[in-house]
């Protein structure tokens, strides 16, 4: 089971799932915060709605639903 | 038959930044003004499609005079603009790729300095420090700290505050008024055509041709850029009459988004994205700023600049008419020069002296030597 770090906390993810699934499985429902302060999370799951953007290893605006979970990645929501 | 409701001192056709600025100036001069537009919002044409770069340019003395005058007016207006106008004095940075372009930096520096415009010449290290995301090894650059950016449709809206809007497609305009496609007519003491690249529809004898451009906007990456950055090769691109051309031109928005340009195409009349030229444009941008390739672009669009044979706008009386005026042909500088255009046009209409000579922009000038 890959171990990832989300906002500094260790999270165990299932093998072979997308980062969006890993975050939701861990109970994380706020992937990012909109400009007006509202919580945002994955909606379409297929790379279209752009709602699931997170920072992965320092790279902003990566789509969590389009990234397969890998051991050791550092995610910021 | 006289109908007071259907009569104005001046009717302007076109509610882009140029039409809006002219309307504001004329209304502030005490005239009863109306503005015709045929989109859901004002500023929906080139005003919305363009970058909103407010630059002082030196292609010609006349271009310098108008851009410099206009920029001083922009800075006067800036304090009154609402936040949605996103006015930001980020400055421009012209970058030189090689020694030949660096010689151009020095030439420009002398030109601007001699005319009282503040500039900084940067060497290779200075450019890298000013904009760390540019590729290493550029020869240098020229910074114009007083250049700015703005979201022009919001400025157009602000300028049109309190001015009567008439919605419809104008099919004919004379010295006495306009007629809409619906058949409805309005009378005016004078009419101004501020229709950008659409000018030939109402004034076919004037030498305005649409020059298509593409832009792409990215997601938000605050701090990625500090200035509007343009390659010096842009000028070669902007003057190209025949071939399609692209040039690196990137702008930081207040939101942290980046606007990436630019392309120029003459003789194309459809507004669809041309993927081949969009790809060339982005490849050019990535040559200068390699990291752009890993950013998310969220939207691309096109627009049409109103180009003229001598790269100067048409401001003043339409030749052969009593009180039918023109304010068009601003190519890629309509936002930069809108406020100066408004002053010159109002001066011409009201018989006032102007802060700079008006002759270079007179629509009756000769274009033959540029043909």
pLDDT tens digits along B66-97: 999 999 999 999 999 999 999 999 999 999 99
Residue ranges of E strands in chain B: 7-13, 33-37, 53-54, 92-96, 120-123, 140-144, 148-149, 164-167, 170-174, 177-180, 185-193, 209-220, 228-231, 245-252, 257-266, 297-307, 314-317, 324-328
Residue B311, pLDDT score: 95
- The residues near A15 (Cβ < 8 Å, ≥ 6 apart) are A1, A2
A33 by Cβ neighbours in 10 Å (0-12 / 13-18 / 19+) ranks as exposed
Cβ neighbours of A61 in B, within 8 Å: 219-221, 295-296
Residue B20 scores a pLDDT above 70: yes
The number of distinct structural domains making up chain A is 1
Residues B327-364 have pLDDT tens digits of 999 999 999 999 999 999 999 999 999 999 999 999 99
What is residue B79's three-state secondary structure?
Answer: coil
Phi, psi of B103 (to 5 degrees): -60, -35
Note the pLDDT of residue B158: 98
Q: Give per-residue pLDDT as tens, B136-176.
A: 999 999 999 999 999 999 999 999 999 999 999 999 999 99
Q: What is the pTM of this model?
A: 0.92
- Model ipTM? 0.75
CA-CA distance, B267 to B190, in Å (whole number)?
A: 32
Tell me whether B83 touches chain A (CB under 8 Å).
Answer: no
pLDDT, one tens digit per residue, over B302-323 is 999 999 999 999 999 999 999 9
Predicted pLDDT at B153: 98
| pLDDT for the residue numbered B5 | 62
Is pLDDT of B1 > 60? no
Q: Return mean pLDDT, chain B.
A: 95
Q: Which residues of B touch A50 (CB under 8 A)?
A: 298
Q: From CA B338, how far away is CA B152, in angstroms rounded?
A: 10
Among the listed residues B230, B222, B205, B237, the one whose alpha carbon sits nearest the alpha carbon of residue B311: B237
Round to whole Å and give the CA distance between B310 and B312.
5
Query: What domains, with CATH codes, occur in chain B?
Result: 4-49+152-207+310-370 (3.50.50.60), 91-146+209-306 (3.30.9.10)
* Structural domain that includes position A62: 3-76
What confidence score (pLDDT) does residue B371 get? 44
CA-to-CA distance for B114 and B110, rounded, in angstroms? 6
Q: Are B298 and A50 an interchain contact pair (Cβ–Cβ within 8 Å)?
A: yes
How far is CA B3 from each of CA B31, B174, B185, B186, rounded to the nearest angstrom? 17, 18, 11, 9
Query: Would the CB atoms of A53 and B219 count as touching at under 8 Å?
Result: yes
State the CATH number of the domain containing residue A43: 3.10.20.440
**Got the DSSP string for chain A?**
--EEEETTEEEE--TT-BHHHHHHHTT---SEE-TTS-EE--SSSSSSS-TTEEEETTEEEEEGGGSB--TT-EEE-
Interface test mutation site (partner A, options B83, B218, B219, B254, max chain A beta carbons within 10 A)? B219
B325 pLDDT above the threshold of 60: yes
Whether the Cβ atoms of residue B216 and residue B249 lie closer than 8 Å to each other: no
In whole angstroms, what is the distance from residue B56 CA to residue A12 CA? 56
What rounded mean pLDDT belongs to chain A?
95
Half-sphere exposure of A1 (CA within 13 A, CB side): 7
Report the residue of A52, A56, A57, A61 to disrupt the B interface, i.e. the one with the largest count of B CBs within 10 Å: A61
> For residue A58, what is the nearest residue in chain B, using CA coordinates?
B221
- B 104-143 residues inside an 8 A Cβ radius of A: none
Please tell me the predicted confidence (pLDDT) of residue B4: 56
Give the pLDDT score at B236: 66
pLDDT at A42: 95
Q: How confident is the model at residue B282 (pLDDT cuts 50, 70, 90)?
A: very high
C-alpha to C-alpha distance for B198 and B328, rounded to whole angstroms: 9
Average pLDDT over residues B111-133: 98
User: CA B190 to CA B8: how far, in whole Å?
Assistant: 8
Each residue's pLDDT tens digit, B201-258: 999 999 999 999 999 999 999 999 999 999 998 766 666 666 899 999 999 999 999 9
Mean pLDDT of B279-285: 97
In 3D space, the residue among B276, B165, B295 whose CA is nearest the CA of residue B225 turns out to be B295
What pLDDT is attached to residue B6? 72
């Amino acid at each position: 089971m890959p171990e990832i770090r989300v906002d500094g906390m260790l999270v165990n993810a299932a093998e072979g799932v997308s980062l969006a699934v890993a975050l939701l499985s861990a109970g994380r429902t706020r992937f990012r915060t909109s400009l007006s302060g509202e919580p945002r999370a994955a909606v379409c799951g297929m790379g279209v709605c752009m709602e699931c953007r997170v920072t992965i290893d320092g790279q902003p605006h990566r789509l969590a639903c389009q990234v397969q979970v890998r051991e050791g990645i550092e995610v910021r929501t | 038959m006289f109908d007071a409701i259907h009569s104005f001192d001046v009717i302007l056709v076109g509610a882009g930044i140029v039409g809006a600025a002219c309307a504001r100036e004329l209304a502030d001069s005490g005239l009863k003004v109306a503005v015709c537009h045929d989109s859901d919002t004002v500023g929906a044409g080139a005003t919305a499609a363009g970058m909103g770069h407010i630059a002082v340019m030196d292609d010609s003395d006349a271009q310098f005079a108008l851009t410099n005058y206009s920029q001083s007016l922009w800075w006067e207006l800036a304090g009154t603009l609402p936040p949605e106008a996103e006015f930001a004095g980020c400055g421009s940075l012209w970058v030189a790729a090689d020694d030949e372009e660096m010689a151009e930096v020095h030439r420009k520096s002398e030109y601007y300095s001699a005319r009282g415009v503040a500039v900084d010449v940067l060497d290779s290290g200075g450019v890298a420090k000013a904009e760390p995301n540019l590729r290493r090894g550029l020869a240098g650059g020229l910074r114009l700290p007083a250049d700015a950016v703005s979201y022009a449709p919001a400025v157009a809206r602000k300028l049109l505050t309190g001015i009567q809007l008439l919605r419809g497609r104008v099919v004919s305009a004379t010295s006495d008024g306009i007629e809409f496609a619906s058949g409805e007519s309005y009378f005016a003491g004078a009419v101004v055509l501020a229709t950008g690249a659409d000018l030939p529809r109402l004034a076919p004898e004037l030498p305005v041709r649409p020059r298509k451009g593409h832009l792409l906007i990215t997601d938000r990456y605050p701090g990625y850029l500090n200035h509007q950055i343009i390659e010096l090769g842009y000028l070669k691109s902007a003057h190209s009459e025949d071939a399609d051309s692209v040039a690196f031109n990137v702008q930081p928005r207040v939101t942290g988004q980046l606007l990436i340009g630019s392309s120029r195409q003459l003789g194309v009349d459809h507004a669809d994205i041309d993927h081949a030229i969009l790809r060339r444009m982005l490849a050019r941008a990535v040559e200068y700023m390699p990291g752009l390739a890993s950013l998310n672009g969220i939207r691309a669009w096109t627009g049409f600049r109103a180009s003229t044979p001598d790269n100067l706008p048409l401001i003043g009386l339409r030749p052969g008419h009593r009180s039918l005026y023109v304010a068009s042909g601003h190519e890629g500088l309509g936002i930069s020069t809108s406020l100066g255009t408004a002053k010159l046009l109002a001066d011409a209409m009201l018989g006032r002296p102007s802060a700079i000579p008006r002759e270079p922009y007179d629509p009756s000038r000769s274009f033959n030597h540029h043909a």
